[in-house]
Amino acid sequence: MSTEELLSSIGNVSDETEFYTPMPSGYIRGRTRYVVITGTVMSGLGKGIFSSSLAKLLQDKGLNVEPIKLEGYLNIDSGTLNPFRHGEVFVLDDGMECDMDLGTYERMLGKDLKAVNFTTSGQIFTQVLGKERHGDYLGRDVQMIPHVTGEVKMRLRELAVSSEADVVFVEIGGTVGDVENAYYIEAMRELAYEEGPNSVCFVALTYVLEPKTLGEQKSKAAQLGIKRLMEMGVQPHIIACRASKPVTEKVRQKIAQYTNVPMERVFSMHDCDSIYVIPNMLRESGYDFEVIKLLRLEQRINLKRERAAWLEWSDFVDRLDMVQHEVTIGMTGKYTTVRDSYASIIHALEHSGAYLNTRVKICWIDTSDVTETNVAEKMNGLDGIIVPGGFGMRGAEGKITCIKYARENNLPFLGICLGFQMAVVEFARNVCGLTGANSGELSQDCEHQVIDILPEQKKIEGLGGNMRLGGKDVEIFPDTFASRLFGGKTQVRMRFRHRYEVDPQYINQLTEKGLVFSGKAPGQPIMQILELPEHNYFIGTQAHPCMTSWPLKPQPMFVGLVAAARKAAYPEEDLPDAISATEAILKQTKQITSAKSREDKNAQRRREKTKNRI
């Protein structure tokens, strides 16, 4: 049997050949192309940022792109990972708890991703072992190659079929040389072999060192890292050199010669102020057309659409530099030492700040040392505060103290998840007179457990996957501040990740004293948005609104906070309040250029026509 015959026999699982290429039904080889991104030299180079920026450039051209992140660790998802070590746990609309890179993809591509866009070794091995027990391997010894690698390829092809993607972007977590991701790289080598020439483009992201003592860029670590990749049978097509400054011609030459990659495909990707300028930086360097050429996608692109999309994006990027005001937002939290644990919040503030021509400075406040006596001093100079989500005792009392200060001093406040719960506790204690009120998470024997575990979560044991997770609809009550903030909508969708909620038996007591619950779960007594109408800006939500803030669609709760903070910081200027600022921006972001949407419709029509063509 020829290679071609072997590969085209769909679902080829037999003990007669060494090939193991399970293919999902409906898979057409060659229809979907793949861009595989690996990292060398060190982790933390911003593979996700690079990959999502490149994916965005292809999406702009009317191509249907789908990312997938392959994580090496054995956890099934990121739910049990410590944000201190791994950064924020990002939650997708379908409830998948995943790596923060998925947040980067959503923000860059402006679309909701799903569980199929994220895979871990834990998921792959669970699948393989399940199949083994089921007898699916027909008496064969189950091996890393071809069975485990076969499962990896299957995931990618399933994604290709379900999304009808033109290009799947595969980001391999970790660094080349790690034991955990070696089988992913091997799977990608096999994929390239099976899919044939011009179907898979390998991009190696590397790092060019510039030791202070030498004062010049050194390429050796980059060369060795890529060599390691080549030893694994993968010849990169494109090399992206991360560096603090633009990579010199000489260094690019050295890398090109050492790795068989032509000079025009060895690019510099140096540090810049905002990740949102990277798509334009890649575009100027010509990365996008190198990929288009390598993957022979010239016939599928739409340059008219690209122009419209690029204008829209550049409009946002230009705003980042059009700063007229500056505000300082205090961020109270436990993981203040690791900024990645609050990545979405930082981004949401950046999005809102851009639309308001305001630079948002963040002042990190460790609430473990905030007390009644020093709170005024700690809040000094702040124009607003955010009490973010979190788990456990540490710093909780300090957060409550900060919220009390914000409530009493008209300081703009946004409470997110745990921050929302702490605002309820504060109000119960200090306004309703419920001494000893607390959350069941923080004190099991307190007198008034105003925040209690969700009944549906009580039944679930263990720490993995036991929260109320994912995108949920929130019903917004009419004539409330929240309803005006959301442009009159009666329902919005936000992302959740929590175990506790406001105990319904305390709702009356809280509202009688002036706390307004302005949003709740439809059909359930789960309170999800709170506000104080008399206050400048005092709003909290059980959700994580930061996870659905995109550059081209800033989230209203953040826009409102920055606008309220700006108004407070510049009292002498006649600036719009939170509601009118949000209204204006909502209107602006709704006007998606008609050219872009017209081209999208054309592209959809074209896709329908060429669905089964390669």
Site residues for ligand GLN per CB under 6 A:
389-391, 417-418, 441, 497-500
Work out how close the CB of 390 gets to ligand GLN at its nearest, in angstroms, rounded to a whole number. 5
Q: Which is nearer to ligand GLN, 276 or 496 (CB)?
A: 496
As a 3-state breakdown, the chain gives helix, strand, coil percent values, each rounded to 5, of 45, 20, 35
Cross-strand pairs, 130: none
Buried b (16+ CB within 10 A) or exposed e, 68-79: bbbbbbebbbbb
Q: Which is nearer to ligand GLN, 174 or 389 (CB)?
A: 389
Q: Which is nearer to ligand GLN, 246 or 470 (CB)?
A: 470
Work out how close the CB of 306 gets to ligand GLN at its nearest, in angstroms, rounded to a whole number. 38
Q: Which is nearer to ligand GLN, 269 or 417 (CB)?
A: 417
Q: Which is nearer to ligand GLN, 338 or 584 (CB)?
A: 338
Work out how close the CB of 546 gets to ligand GLN at its nearest, in angstroms, rounded to a whole number. 11
Q: Which residue is nearest to ligand GLN (CB)?
A: 389
435 burial (CB, 10 Å; 0-12 / 13-18 / 19+) is: exposed
Please say whether the dihedral angle defined by the alpha carbons of residues 51, 56, 62 and 66, taken in this order, is positive or negative.
Answer: positive
Q: Which is nearer to ligand GLN, 159 or 418 (CB)?
A: 418
Residue closest to 110 by CA, chosen among 351, 302, 349: 351
Measure the CA–CA gap between 8 and 27, rounded to whole angstroms. 10
Work out how close the CB of 503 gets to ligand GLN at its nearest, in angstroms, rounded to a whole number. 12
User: What contacts 284, CB < 8 A, 6 or more positions away?
Assistant: none
Work out how close the CB of 223 gets to ligand GLN at its nearest, in angstroms, rounded to a whole number. 44
Measure the CA–CA gap between 62 and 179, rounded to whole angstroms. 37
Measure the CA–CA gap between 362 and 539, rounded to whole angstroms. 19
Work out how close the CB of 485 gets to ligand GLN at its nearest, in angstroms, rounded to a whole number. 21
Q: Which is nearer to ligand GLN, 62 or 79 (CB)?
A: 79
3-state SS class at 13: coil
Amino acid (one-letter) located at 413: F
Please state the three-class secondary structure of 328-358 as a single string. Answer: EEEEECCCCCCHHHHHHHHHHHHHHHHHCCE
Work out how close the CB of 494 gets to ligand GLN at its nearest, in angstroms, rounded to a whole number. 12
Residue 488 per-residue DSSP state = T
| Token representation of residue 80 | 């049990």
Work out how close the CB of 391 gets to ligand GLN at its nearest, in angstroms, rounded to a whole number. 4
Q: Which is nearer to ligand GLN, 56 or 498 (CB)?
A: 498
